[in-house]
Amino acid sequence: MSQQFVLTRSYMIRFFMPILVTLTLVIFLSLLTLDYYHLINQPPETITPVSPNEEGTNQAEVGIANMLIYVVMIALGSSIVLLIVKKGKYNLLLLGFSLLTAFASFSLTLFFFPLMLIELFLYLPLDAIVVLIPEYWFTILILGVSFAMAVLAFYAMNPTLNRSIFLRNSMLILFGAGIGTIFGIHFPVISAVLVLIALSLYDIYSVFKGPIRGILEHFISSSSTQATGTNTDVETPVEETTTELTRQSFIGMPLLPIYSSGDVNIGLGDFAFYSMLIAHSLKISDLTGSLLPFIFTLIGLLLGIGMTLYLLQKRPTLPGLPISIFLGLVGLFIGLLVGAPNIETLNHVLRS
């Protein structure tokens, strides 16, 4: 029987701290990206699998198509992880996560680092220096920094190489904020909303019936067997053991992309999709010329996270996305309705 989880002020501070750091980073990266698109006088490019390439394209159909693609991708990926875990191929899982994180870190740095250089040269009196530096030096610098971040990510995410949980947690925050910003700024509004709703619903299934539950059950069974030295047919409910399990340092925890600090555990998906929602709210605030969509979204998201933590006192296993994303989206639409100066702006935002 597990000890009942008690929500204390100390726990809330330690839980919200990495989330607030992530969201602060998202705000910086989103403003950086939006400023770049203002500079070149173009709207953000669309990077979804299905894009509205013509005027008059049905945005709902495009959004549904993107939603289905991303849900299938997430479901397939989590099912593959479950299969690898059950087969005991932990080294393969380590290598896969490390390589994916390294590739993603290279790509994210390749996108954001040039934007930082542009802002640096725009707002600091460096014209004389820039003129003297050959253009190919900047290319070498950008590629070098991107490659260095990829190597750092590979090292940080592989527990057979890296023993610093702080470095690993920092890379998870950077990665979650970066990928969330890319998605939030470059997804059309309807696609972003439908994808967030669908993934939140899938999160419920995955935690209670799907791959996440299967992974937890596997490690619970493994840890019980290792502790007793024998196999047992007695099943321990996931809800009664997850709290203790996630507070222990066991072989399964470093394999998975989870921010872990003491009894605080936050999945990479939570970081990424919280970030996506906040970045998207900043994009909508930029389109409407009002901060209300961003402010109301942020309030809704943080309230949802707080409610999820409160409910953990009654049920140790809960998905992190549904309540937070739902309240964040409610805040987003309230802010959009209040902040849009006229119906034309509202229609323009929904078509963006």
Q: What is the pLDDT of residues 252-280, one digit of tens each?
A: 445 678 888 777 888 899 999 999 999 99
Report the distance separating Cα 233 and Cα 212, nearest Å. 21
Q: Is residue 311 part of a domain?
A: yes
Report the distance separating Cα 291 and Cα 281, nearest Å. 9
- Which pLDDT value is given to residue 226? 52
Q: Is residue 255 part of a domain?
A: yes
For 4, counting Cβ atoms within 10 Å of its Cβ (0-12 exposed, 13-18 middle, 19+ buried), the class is exposed
Report the distance separating Cα 214 and Cα 238, nearest Å. 9
- Which pLDDT value is given to residue 241? 38
Q: Is residue 245 part of a domain?
A: yes
Q: Is residue 126 part of a domain?
A: no
Q: Over range 322-329, report the average pLDDT.
A: 96
How are beta strands 264-267 and 258-261 bridged, if at all? antiparallel
Q: Is residue 95 part of a domain?
A: no
Q: In this model, does residue 314 exceed pLDDT 90? A: no
* Candidate ranges 52-56, 223-227, 267-271, 272-276; pick with highest mean pLDDT: 272-276
Rounded to the nearest integer, the mean pLDDT of the chain is 83
- Which pLDDT value is given to residue 277? 97
Percent above pLDDT 70 for the chain: 84
Give tens-digit pLDDT for 98-126: 999 999 999 999 999 999 988 887 777 66
Report the distance separating Cα 164 and Cα 291, nearest Å. 38
Answer whether 65's CB lies under 8 Å from 190's CB: no
- 34's tokens: 């939006």
- Phi/psi for 229 (5° steps) reads 80, 5
Q: Is residue 299 part of a domain?
A: yes
- Which pLDDT value is given to residue 86? 84
Q: Is residue 279 part of a domain?
A: yes
Percent above pLDDT 90 for the chain: 45
Angle at CA 92, nearest 5°, toward 90 and 98?
Answer: 100
Higher pLDDT among residues 229 and 256, named by residue: 256
Positive or negative, the CA dihedral 94, 96, 97, 99 is positive
- 25's tokens: 């980073």
Provide the domain count of the chain. Answer: 1
Q: Is residue 97 part of a domain?
A: no
For 264, the domain range is 9-49+59-87+164-351
- 143's tokens: 């590629």
Q: Over range 285-310, report the average pLDDT.
A: 94
Show Cβ contacts of residue 311 under 8 Å, excluding neighbours closer than 6 positions.
318, 323
- Which pLDDT value is given to residue 211? 86
Q: In this model, does residue 235 exceed pLDDT 70? A: no
Q: In this model, does residue 236 exceed pLDDT 70? A: no
Q: Over range 155-163, report the average pLDDT.
A: 85
Q: Over range 139-161, report the average pLDDT.
A: 92
- Phi/psi for 259 (5° steps) reads -70, 120
Q: In this model, does residue 12 exceed pLDDT 80? A: yes
- 340's tokens: 């849009």
Positive or negative, the CA dihedral 37, 38, 40, 42 is positive
Report the distance separating Cα 322 and Cα 196, nearest Å. 9
- Which pLDDT value is given to residue 237? 43
